[in-house]
Chains A and B, each alone.
Chain A
Amino acid sequence: MKRILPILPLLAVVVLVQLVTAWTGTQYYLTQMTMAAYYSLLIIGLCVLMGYAGQISLGHAGFFAIGGYLSAALTTRSLVPFKEAALVRLLDNCGMLHAGKDLYGGELLVVTPWAAAVFAVLVAALIAVAIGIPVLKLKGHYLAMATLGFGIIIYRLVLATPWFGEADGISGVPPFQLFSGVTVSGETSVRILNYYLAWGVLLCGLVLLINLMQSRIGRALRAIHGSEEAADAMGVNIARFKLQTFVLSAVFAAIAGVLLTHYNGGIGPSEAGVMKSVRYVAIVAVGGMAHLWGAMFMGVLLNFLSLRGVFGSYDDAVFGLILIVIMLFAPDGILSLITGRKKQAVTVPTVQQDREV
């Protein structure tokens, strides 16, 4: 239980923020706090991959986009033309389809949000496996470039595919009723509920990852980061653990993509952009690489500021600048400047430091 205790004060802060916005009549802040929480879900997943397992990824916006775009397309693109196809009929019989009317009163047949979400996350996981097996053999700059390539491919695919709305993206994504009374939706009437829902999801994700890091698996991951050769000799199946971590972080990204897309009611190609991936890496670095709390805190803070438009048109430039400044002056993360925390595990994550005889 000891490891979970720091969650309680955080929970209190989450409630306090909501109450303060209610008293001061500034509830509109909750919208950005909700979105920032979903982005932070991706950030903490990436933190495990980068900070603990020591693998860099410049393609995580791609996994976010896979989750977001697939659930958006499946819940908005009508299946009426394929009504007679065997697959569509099968899905319908399983209760995975939802009939309704579109804006102009025409017949509409779409996949239910639950089915679409599960499918989207599964696809993201499968793609992570397919990409991860060849790519995780690479180290350092080569791994960064290969994942960057993956990110660019996803970006270009959504931009060129009419089914994904090309440059316009997909809008009109319906609310996602998780269970009775709890719906992921951007409507003002459920703003407070969604604020708590997003933070609930984020804190659950955080608890799961904290548990993971303090377990046999977490020790093995940190051992891989410390010395691959020695971890190998201890019986740690390095290739498998790297892949599993990669898939885990991709699943976190995809879940964030699914939920945020339903919350926003749509998704656009900028969510798949390379600059988004760079931003996520920058935030993990600011948080201190191997520091889940720092990553989460910075994820919420920086995303919130960015969503509020504090950085104006210089948004991406600010995150680039943050990356440079952090690497130069506080490679252990911004919190290390305050606490003086020094950790040798926080050099460039994937450069092999073992010298061989």
Chain B
Amino acid sequence: MAILAVENLHRRFGGLHAVNDVSFQVAAGQIKAVIGPNGAGKTTLFNLVSGALTPSSGVVRFQGKDIQGRRPFEIAALGMARTYQNIKMFAGMTALENVMVGCHLRGKAGFLSSMLHAPWTWNEEREVLGKSMELLELLEIGESAHVLATSLAFGQQRAVELARALAMQPSLLLLDEPAAGLNIYETAEVGRLITKIRDMGITVLLVEHDMSLVMDISDEIVVLCFGEKIAEDLPAAIQNNPEVIKIYLGE
């Protein structure tokens, strides 16, 4: 069953048709990759799916519900998490606190009970703390838990961002260039991690430039070029698709 369905999606920025009539589906439990040259509309597509941008027209269906035009926090509540190409840490907060924000939706404490530090919030706080620490350790940055997130190394910030997204316990995880800026060893590590996340039962949709990573881990690939979908197939078939080769290597 498709957990995410995109149908005839359009987005125009003035005269630029950034996403032009794109349709595809993501089946539950798979890793699906979106690739394409710079400016193909990949990040715009992500922003449309996650609610950061509103489509000019078209349908985004997540778990059977039409979500186009809904606000990001509403879509997050339905079980969609995302990371960003240019990492967006919560400045002024530690790595641990960043991940704890990821647990926001599962908490119930409101203004009054928080101000009174009411006993019925203690349990929730303990659970959030334990869960967040667990995730940091899963991503092997447990020792940096109490360091300001923005002062961590780039690769570690990536890990914090991923832990933060996992803390939401999403059913669908959008990863925007998870390997950008990483060396080949770190990239391979990220690949193993994404496979692990899939095995935890989380569906993954990722945008990525690193072809070897995409070919290694994806179950299916969508190719975008100038906002249009030009191919959608298994990795092996994409590698031999003449049109895709033409885009990447020229005539």
A357: interface (CB < 8 Å)? yes
Contact B90 A226 (CB under 8 A): yes
Given A222-B92, A226-B90, A227-B91, are A235 and B168 also a contact pair (CB < 8 Å)?
yes
B22: interface (CB < 8 Å)? no
Name which residue of chain A comes closest to B76, CB basis.
A235
Contact B88 A217 (CB under 8 A): no
B40: interface (CB < 8 Å)? no
| A117-125, A155-163, A205-213 - interface stretch | A205-213
A8: interface (CB < 8 Å)? no
Contact A208 B116 (CB under 8 A): yes
Say which size band chain A's interface belongs to.
35 or more
Contact B90 A238 (CB under 8 A): no
User: Complex formed: what's the CA distance from A49 to B114 in Å?
Assistant: 16
A343: interface (CB < 8 Å)? yes
Contact A236 B86 (CB under 8 A): no
Q: In the complex, what residues of B have CB within 8 A of residue A225's CB? A: 90-92
| Chain B residues with a Cβ closer than 8 Å to the other chain, count | 42
A165: interface (CB < 8 Å)? no
Q: In the complex, what residues of A have CB within 8 A of residue B128's CB? A: 216
Contact B93 A226 (CB under 8 A): yes
Contact B109 A215 (CB under 8 A): yes
User: Complex formed: what's the CA distance from A232 to B80 in Å?
Assistant: 12
Contact A230 B104 (CB under 8 A): no
Q: In the complex, what residues of B have CB within 8 A of residue A354's CB? A: 88
Contact A357 B115 (CB under 8 A): no
Select A216's contact among B43, B90, B124, B164, beta carbons within 8 Å: B124
User: Complex formed: what's the CA distance from A244 to B112 in Å?
Assistant: 11
Contact A211 B114 (CB under 8 A): yes
Q: In the complex, what residues of B have CB within 8 A of residue A208's CB? A: 115-116
Select A238's contact among B73, B102, B111, B117, beta carbons within 8 Å: B73
A188: interface (CB < 8 Å)? no
Q: In the complex, what residues of B have CB within 8 A of residue A218's CB? A: 114
Contact B115 A344 (CB under 8 A): no
Please report whether the interface of chain A is mostly helix, strand, loop or mixed according to DSSP: helix
Contact B105 A215 (CB under 8 A): no
A237: interface (CB < 8 Å)? yes
User: Complex formed: what's the CA distance from A59 to B147 in Å?
Assistant: 36
**Cβ distance A10 to chain B, nearest Cβ, rounded Å:** 18
B82: interface (CB < 8 Å)? yes
Contact B89 A227 (CB under 8 A): yes
**Cβ distance A203 to chain B, nearest Cβ, rounded Å:** 14
**Cβ distance A253 to chain B, nearest Cβ, rounded Å:** 16
For A338-352 the 0/1 string (1 means CB < 8 A from B) is: 000001111000000
**Cβ distance A351 to chain B, nearest Cβ, rounded Å:** 13
Name which residue of chain A comes closest to B164, CB basis.
A234
User: Complex formed: what's the CA distance from A218 to B102 in Å?
Assistant: 13
Contact A223 B90 (CB under 8 A): yes
Given A215-B125, A216-B109, A230-B84, are A235 and B89 also a contact pair (CB < 8 Å)?
no
Given A217-B110, A236-B104, are A230 and B168 also a contact pair (CB < 8 Å)?
no
User: Complex formed: what's the CA distance from A212 to B112 in Å?
Assistant: 8
User: Complex formed: what's the CA distance from A216 to B127 in Å?
Assistant: 12
Contact B124 A237 (CB under 8 A): no
B30: interface (CB < 8 Å)? no
Name A327-343 residues within 8 Å CB distance of B: 343
B138: interface (CB < 8 Å)? no
Q: In the complex, what residues of A have CB within 8 A of residue B101's CB? A: 219-220, 223, 231, 234, 236
Contact B105 A211 (CB under 8 A): no
Name B46-97 residues within 8 Å CB distance of A: 50, 52, 71-73, 76-77, 81-82, 84-86, 88-93, 97
Contact A229 B88 (CB under 8 A): yes
A-B contact pairs, 19 of them (CB 8 A): A211-B114, A216-B125, A217-B109, A217-B111, A218-B114, A227-B88, A227-B89, A229-B84, A230-B89, A232-B52, A232-B73, A234-B101, A234-B105, A235-B77, A235-B104, A235-B105, A290-B92, A345-B92, A346-B92
A-B residue pairs, 10 tightest by C-beta: A345-B92, A226-B90, A215-B114, A235-B76, A235-B105, A230-B88, A208-B115, A232-B72, A211-B117, A216-B107
